[in-house]
Amino acid sequence: MPSMANITVKKADGTTDVVYTALSPSAGDKVPAQWRVESIGSISGNRPTLSVMTRSSQDKKARIIEGKLLYPETFTDSTTGLTSVKNREMFSFSAILHANATDAVIAEVAAQAANLVQSVLIQDVIKTGYAPT
């Protein structure tokens, strides 16, 4: 079982680090671990968040992993000076990993899934909202 920690990723510019600060570890199945980017904005509710939750399948033959990134798009009203959320962009992922799969297969799925999301083609799909044609 992994230990809760901060997660550092690169911004779209490829050089600037963004730190998702560990807020609360999972207390067990169906309780999400939670992170938040503390360096953006002065209102905590307007910052990007990540949550990851795990649980057993109904038949107890697999583990289910579900994650969700919420990324608020904020703006400041020029009249009032108040900052509000215009949109909350969301990226989610899930995996079903069978208990009888080998550690090597699970490791390969983890590596390939992460690398596919990191690939230029899949990032372009996310940026444009369209599947490759």
Q: Is this structure's pTM higher than 0.95?
A: no
Together in a domain, 59 and 110: no
pLDDT at 5: 96
pLDDT at 128: 93
Together in a domain, 69 and 24: yes
pLDDT at 114: 95
pLDDT at 38: 97
The series of mean pLDDT values per 10 residues for the chain, 133 residues long, is 93 95 96 96 92 97 97 93 93 97 97 95 94 93
Residue 121, judged by CB atoms within 10 A of its CB (0-12, 13-18, 19+), counts as: exposed
What residue numbers bound the domain in which 130 lies? 101-133
Together in a domain, 12 and 76: yes
Together in a domain, 88 and 112: no
The CATH number given to whatever domain includes residue 59 is 3.30.380.10
pLDDT at 42: 86
